[in-house]
Chains A and B, each alone.
Chain A
Amino acid sequence: EDQVTQSPEALRLQEGESSSLNCSYTVSGLRGLFWYRQDPGKGPEFLFTLYSAGEEKEKERLKATLTKKESFLHITAPKPEDSATYLCAVQEGSNTGKLIFGQGTTLQVKP
């Protein structure tokens, strides 16, 4: 069964304290892995797409990486405005467009 697991469930950091979020997946034929940021009461905001193992993408303080089994979202020197829930989703091999979401990691960055 296709599955996406994110860890930790919640993460508290001090401003400037770098860390990583994990997204592990088991799918039959990965067609893409997606990272989203979601603020409370709002729709998810697209961050990155990764397609193949070894691929990396960066945006400001965020860097996403992909292996054959998992993806990491590295946050360097976070600021309070980085506080949000980060969602990982994968598109599996069947040609349906359906995404499988993880449960998310809620990040709180304290000043």
Chain B
Amino acid sequence: DTEVTQTPKHLVMGMTNKKSLKCEQHMGHRAMYWYKQKAKKPPELMFVYSYEKLSINESVPSRFSPECPNSSLLNLHLHALQPEDSALYLCASSQDWTGGKNEQFFGPGTRLTVL
């Protein structure tokens, strides 16, 4: 099973709302990622978790708050977002990069619209 699942598929929220994006994988991967993708641009890395610990934060604003409850789950908590945060949010996982195996498998994404 090489599937990464994400919920919800679509999300519309106001600037004062609090919402969460969820990601799940059952491939036994120990690294999980959040990316943001704007139209006609490549994915832009936001956060990396390795063995359930945050290892990379690409200077993401604090209105985005990641959480890794266990090795299979990754959440992204959203609060007080701006319209420019509207994008496709992608979750990915990989076995581990230390052994050179960093094929990242992506989920289908959550299309976020901030009004």
Contacts and interface: CB of A to CB of B under 8 A. Distances in A.
The residue in A45, A51, A95, A97 that gathers the most chain B C-beta atoms within 10 A of its C-beta is A97
A26 B4 CA distance: 30
A45 B88 CA distance: 15
Interface residues of A, number: 24
A69 to B, nearest CB: 20
Contacts of B108: 42-43
Contacts of A98: 45, 48, 56
B28 interface: no
A96 B42 contact: no
A44 B41 CA distance: 12
10 contacts: A41-B88, A42-B108, A46-B104, A46-B105, A87-B42, A96-B48, A96-B55, A96-B56, A98-B56, A103-B41
